[in-house]
Amino acid sequence: MLYLKSIELMGFKSFGKKTELVFGSRISSIVGPNGSGKSNVAEGFRFVLGEQSMKSMRSKKGEDLIWGGSPALARQNRASVKVVFDNSKRLLDIDFGEVVIERVVYRDGQNEYVLNGTQVRLKDVIRLLAGANIGGSGYQIISQGEADRILNASPRERREMVEDALGLKLYQHKKAESERKLEETGNNIEKTKSLRREIGPHLTFLRIQVEKIEKARELKEALAAKLSEYLARENAWITQEDARLKEEVQSLDEELRDISAKLQEARSKRTHGGSGTLSELQSKIVQCEAKLTDARGRSGEIARELGRAEGALERNDVMVEQIVTVPHVRGFARELDSAIEEIERNDDLQQVRNILAHLRIRIRSFVDGLTGAAPVTNAEAKREVDDLNTKLERVQAEQNRITSEIDGLRSKMAETREEGFAAERDIVGLEATHREVESKKNAFNAARATVATLRLRFEEEVREGIALIGAAVHAWDKNEIPPGALSEDRSNQEKRRRETERLKIKIEESGIGNGDAVVREFKQTKERDEFLARELEDLEKSAASLKEIIAELEKTIDIRFTEGLKQINVALHDFFQKLFGGGEAKLRIEEPHRPSRQGLDVEDGDEEDEMVEEEELYAGLSISVSLPRKKIRGLEVLSGGERALTSIALIFSMTQVNPPPFLILDETDAALDEANSKRYADMIKELGQKSQLIVITHNRATMAAAGELYGVTMGHDGVSKLLSVKLEEAERVAK
Ligand code: ATP
């Protein structure tokens, strides 16, 4: 069964023209003169299998891989190598009976990979080949002069080659993948943790805020209850107090109106009972007194006449011709004289007139007395007496009337005077009362002003309440008037007011407004934190499971490696003995050495464990050699041939445990003498049973071991050409 069906080179290095090698034998040998292009074929394999090291293809850059042109054949712009695998046994994990892998490189260094006609990534190619134990460190393509590469390699590189040969690459890939994921997970864990750390203080801050808001909310509820009771009481009290005071003021107004009316009355009384009326009365009295004087004068005269008449009646001898007596005339003269004297003394015109009127009457009656006829008879005299008596009575009655009139006027005057005094007293009293009532009214008005101030304060308190706790404040409106609100001591209400003030201050001090936004933010932040915590848990779980997977893989690698190494050592012992006719070679796991960590005071135990694991994992492989009959150990002292033999033994033994589908050996036998070339050829045959071999050689023994031979030649055009040759021709071709 041949896995490798063919290789086609086009524009690759010296293969300026399309050249195809079809493999028909388990061992194919490529022969040809120096510089004809044999090694370019081996490098063609490296190239198509995804080699990234230009050096291992003897180039500096991609362009060097492209046919550079010759006078005969122009240079090309691309080099391509195509390899065809028989995949009927599903060597490669892909559902095709035949797998064609092609790699193209362009002059600009651009690469293309094509898998069964579809462009793919390098990664895809490498993964596909690794699954079939192809590729990797390239131990299966041994380049010219590189036979002892495995000897020169560092212990670590050597270990990688062995791991590759044991087919552990796949596990290494998986492990690397898991490690990458673990690192990513670790980064995500760190990121998540740092996000939580970032959120942390804010969340704490918000929590404290929310607690404060809760507290403030409680305070607000308390305030709402207190305030609504206080406001209901205050409103009721103010309303009532204002109504009461208003009523008081109204009744005082009425009282004042009443007092004013009385005052007006008293004042008018005082005016009408004043000096005007009194002087009228006084002048009336004077008139009456004049009349009285007149009446008195007349009554005196009548009385005198009566005396004379009565005397005449008694004498009864009254003569007709009466003689006027001297005393009578003298008496009359005296009367006149005193009247004149009175006039002279008096300034009052009225009285003077009165006296004069009286005088006229006296003069008339004296004259009458002179001319009057004397009563002739007693009867006449008697009649005269009677008449005079009647006259006298009448005058006296008049006198009495005038006297009583004067008395009346006098008492009227006293009365009027008294009335004036009383009115004055009343006015004084009423005015005092008026002032008193006025000041009472002022006091009530002042109280009303105070109540109005309280009303303003009440309204301000309502507004303030709304600002602090919202419309809930209006609850006071619906509250019934609390019992005792109108009668209780105001100090109770003052106490309530102080309590609400205290609550208001506390709410204001809390400095929290509505707080809804903060509560919302707290909720969101908390949710985010919880989400991050869950995410962290998930990440930690997946990190743990990745660690488990890695540990599992490491265990597998370790077991397989240890086991494989044992088997390699068995084969190595065998090949070495065959090649050297004795002696011993062995691969050993080197003790992990950590010089850089020695003497360091490492406190973090975990970290150290990790480092140790890493070191152990990459504990390299050392080779110990002991040659038969020679007391030498160590690679440094081996001859070139001995080195070649040792590395051949090593490479071959490595292929025994997990044989690769094919192996390419480019003049690995170059340094061997004839005897060793024979042994080499035998071993090639043995290997050929497990892996398909492509052997580039100048050795006849090796050629003889191959089932088919290809000759590579190069003409003057510089282009490598390929031809199938027989063994007999081969040696000629090779020269
Ligand atoms: P030997 O037997 O000496 O090892 P060989 O047969 O292995 O020789 P190669 O090394 O494969 O020979 O071929 C080298 C030849 O390929 C050289 O002549 C070199 O000029 C030619 N060559 C290499 N790269 C290119 C290129 N890009 N274009 C043209 N020719 C190239």
Q: Does the pLDDT of residue 601 top 60, yes or no? A: no
Is the model's pLDDT at 275 over the cut of 70? no
Domain end position, chosen among 417, 439, 461: 439
Distance CA 684, CA 575 (A): 11
The identity of residue 282, as a single letter, is Q
Q: Which atom of ligand 1 is nearest to the CA of 79?
A: 27
Cα dist from 407 to 281, 361, 416, 417, whole Å: 11, 27, 14, 15
Q: Residues enclosing ligand 1, CB less than 6 A?
A: 13-14, 32, 34-40, 64, 66-68, 144, 718
- Looking at per-residue pLDDT, the higher value among 584 and 731 belongs to 584
CA of 726 to the centre of ligand 1 (A): 23
pLDDT above 70 for 697? yes
Residue 581 region by backbone torsions, left for phi larger than 0, else alpha for psi between -120 and 50, else beta: left
Ligand 1 centroid–CA 703 distance in Å is 21
- Structural domain includes residue 455: no
In tens, the pLDDT along 20-40 reads 999 999 999 999 999 999 999
The lowest-confidence range among 98-102, 248-252, 272-276, 631-635 is 272-276
Tokens for 189, please give them: 């864990």
- Nearest residue by C-alpha to atom 25 in ligand 1: 13
Residue 123 has pLDDT above 60, yes or no: yes
Identify whether 605 is part of a domain. Answer: no
Ligand 1 atom nearest the C-alpha of 144 is 4
26 assigned to some structural domain: yes
Q: Please report which confidence band the pLDDT of residue 348 belongs to, taking 50, 70 and 90 as the band edges.
A: confident
Tell me: pLDDT of 321 over 50. no
Residue nearest to atom 29 of ligand 1 (CA): 14
**Is residue 273 over pLDDT 70?**
no
The answer for residues whose C-beta is within 8 angstroms of residue 392's C-beta and 6 or more apart is 299, 302, 303, 306
Q: Is the pLDDT of residue 598 over 50?
A: no
**What percent of the chain stands above pLDDT 70?**
91
Our mutation pick for probing the ligand 1 site, out of 15, 29, 36, counting the most ligand atoms within 8 A of Cβ, is: 36
Where residue 144 falls (left for φ over 0; alpha for ψ -120 to 50; beta otherwise) is beta
What DSSP element (H or E) covers 649? helix 640-657
What pLDDT band is residue 429 in, cutting at 50, 70 and 90?
very high
In a domain, 575, yes or no: no
Please state, in angstroms and rounded to a whole number, the distance separating the CA atoms of residues 609 and 629.
45
Question: Which atom of ligand 1 is least distant from the CA of 43?
Answer: 11
Query: To test the ligand 1 pocket, which listed residue (15, 29, 40, 76) has its Cβ within 8 A of the most ligand atoms?
Result: 40
In a domain, residue 316? The reply is: yes
Residue-wise pLDDT for 143-199, tens only, equals 887 777 788 888 888 888 888 888 787 788 889 999 999 999 999 999 999 999 999
- Is the pLDDT at 370 greater than 70? The verdict is no
Distance from residue 720's CA to the centre of ligand 1 (Å): 8
Cα(35) to centroid of ligand 1, in Å? 5
Q: State the total domains in the chain.
A: 2
Interatomic CA distance for residues 606 and 604, integer angstroms: 6
Report the pLDDT value the prediction gives residue 18, as an integer from 0 to 100: 96
Indicate which CATH number applies to the domain containing 335. Answer: 1.10.287
What is the structure's pLDDT at 156?
A: 86
Residue nearest to atom 22 of ligand 1 (CA): 14
Please state the atom number of ligand 1 nearest to the C-alpha of residue 698. Answer: 2
| Token pair in block for residue 485 | 């609100």
Mean pLDDT value of segment 374-378: 56
Q: What percent of the chain has pLDDT over 90?
A: 43
pLDDT of residue 512: 65
Q: Is the pTM of this model over 0.75?
A: no
The atom number, within ligand 1, closest to the CA of 712 reads: 6
Kindly write down the DSSP assignment for every residue of 228-291, as one continuous string.
HHHHHHHHHHHHHHHHHHHHHHHHHHHHHHHHHHHHHHHHHHHHHTSHHHHHHHHHHHHHHHHH
**CA–centroid distance, residue 714 to ligand 1 (Å):** 9
Residue-number span of the structural domain to which 696 is assigned: 1-140+660-735
Sign (positive or negative) of CA dihedral 620, 626, 631, 635: negative
Say which CATH number the domain at 119 has: 3.40.50.300
Take atom 31 of ligand 1 and give the residue whose Cα is closest: 14
d(CA 654, CA 648): 10
Site to substitute for ligand 1 among 10, 12, 14, most atoms within 8 A of C-beta: 14
- Specify if 422 maps to a domain: yes
Please report the pLDDT score of residue 163 as a whole number: 85
Q: Would residue 505 count as lying in a domain?
A: no
> Is 384 a member of any domain?
yes
Say if residues 57 and 65 touch (Cβ distance below 8 Å). Answer: yes
Whether 129 and 278 map to the same domain: the answer is no
Residue ending a domain, among 439, 463, 493, is 439
Please name the amino acid found at residue 109.
G
Query: Which of 414, 439, 464 represents a domain boundary (last residue)?
Result: 439
